[in-house]
Structure 1
Amino acid sequence: MKISKETVEQNRERVIATAARLFRERGIDGIGLVDLMKAAGLTPGGFYRQFKSKDDLIVQAVKRSYKDMSEDIAGRIAASDDPLETLVRHYVSDYHRDDPGQGCGLAAMAADAARHDDPELRECFGSIVSNYIGLLTKLVPGHSAKAKRSAAIAALAEMIGSVVLSRVVPDPALSGEIIDTVSNDLVKRHAKSSRTA
């Protein structure tokens, strides 16, 4: 039985959405294609009609996770009187730590991507890093473009690092302490900088 183009596209979107969630939860190499297709409610046989390879799907899933996270962040900061604090408090949070499948792909998959030799995947992550630096550069206080960019890079590294570390430690108290310390420090430091800028 022939499947309509619309059904094929819906199935492709379902696979990408499922992969975006599962790759963030389990890592890029943490789930095979058979299990991934099963989780999407599809048979593995259709995979290669929709994607060139698993690497192709990984890139599509990374782009989807970035798109979803970016839309969420954009909505939050647009509705905020203090966009930087809103971004930091949302990103460096218990919620983000505890739900990697809905969180940032950088915090969940960057270490995996660094071990992959697919240039398209690395290019994709490089673009995401640049986009986040660009966003933070607009939000952090500073006297010069160079100072703002440096502060944005440091803030991004602290934000991602704190989420990664808070996920890996088994002690819930230490995990929470990492989140609270980094979140509070970033907000306090940049609030002080904005008063002197």
Structure 2
Amino acid sequence: MRYTSEHKQATRQRIIEAAGRRFKQDGIDGSGVATLMKDAGLTNGAFYAHFASKDDLVANVVADQLREQRASFDSTPSGRAGVEEFVRRYLSVEHRDSPESGCPSAALLDEIVRCTQATKEAFTDGALGVIDEISAGLAPGDPQSVRAQVIAAFALMIGTLQLARALADQQLADQILEQGVQNTLALLPAEDRG
């Protein structure tokens, strides 16, 4: 039976989304093709109709996850208020406790460093897209004027979330998140730069 290109694309996207959740939950190395395909409701044999290898899937998942994160920024208010909302949502207890539905950077960064060049390029492009989106939100007229600050803030947010997730002491983890919010906001311009 031949499927339409739309059906094939929808199936491919279903695999990417299921793999994104599983990778962020169990890690890239902790997620085999059989489990990923089961999560997508498909058989192992269907995998190679959509991806050349698991490495190919990983690169596609990283690109998709960061594209989705960038798109989520579009739903926040413009200006400093929107960026502050994004920072508080990112460094929240809910985000800390739900890695499978959160930021791919905080969940997968330690594994991405050991991935293929294609995955590293997908991550670089996606991370720069998020940085550029935040920069444009803070300074629509001159995003480059705040880009260095946004890079520092983005790195701080990722590291803060990773540290908060690694701690057994929930009270300390909560304090780290709150301090991360304060430190991140202190790095960013105090007012909109239009």
Question: Which TM-score applies when normalising by structure 2?
Answer: 0.86
Matched to 2:36, the amino acid is L
Which among 121, 124, 135 is matched to residue 123 of structure 1?
Answer: 121
Cα shift at 1:67:
2.2
- Judging changes above 3 Å, is the alpha-carbon distance between structure 1 residues 69 and 146 closer, same or farther for their aligned structure 2 residues? closer
- Judging changes above 3 Å, is the alpha-carbon distance between structure 1 residues 133 and 9 closer, same or farther for their aligned structure 2 residues? closer
- C-alpha RMSD of matched pairs (Å): 2.3
Is 1:135 the counterpart of 2:104? The answer is: no
3-state DSSP of counterpart to 2:146: helix
Q: Distance in 2 between matches of 1:37 and 1:133?
A: 32
Q: What is the match of residue 158 of structure 2?
A: 160
Cα shift at 1:13:
1.8
Where does structure 2 lack aligned partners over 5 or more consecutive residues? none
Cα shift at 1:160:
0.6
Cα shift at 1:83:
1.8
Is 1:172 the counterpart of 2:167? The answer is: no
Contact 2:105 2:158 in 1 (8 A): yes
Equivalent pairs, count? 189
Q: What is the match of residue 114 of structure 1?
A: 113
Contact 1:158 1:182 in 2 (8 A): yes
Q: What is the match of residue 91 of structure 2?
A: 92
Contact 1:140 1:151 in 2 (8 A): no
Q: Distance in 2 between matches of 1:97 and 1:52?
A: 33
Q: What is the match of residue 12 of structure 1?
A: 12
Cα shift at 1:66:
1.4
3-state DSSP of counterpart to 2:120: helix
Question: Which TM-score applies when normalising by structure 1?
Answer: 0.85
Q: What is the match of residue 55 of structure 1?
A: 55
3-state DSSP of counterpart to 2:29: coil
Matched to 1:149, the amino acid is R
Where does structure 1 lack aligned partners over 5 or more consecutive residues? none
Structure holding more helix per residue: 1
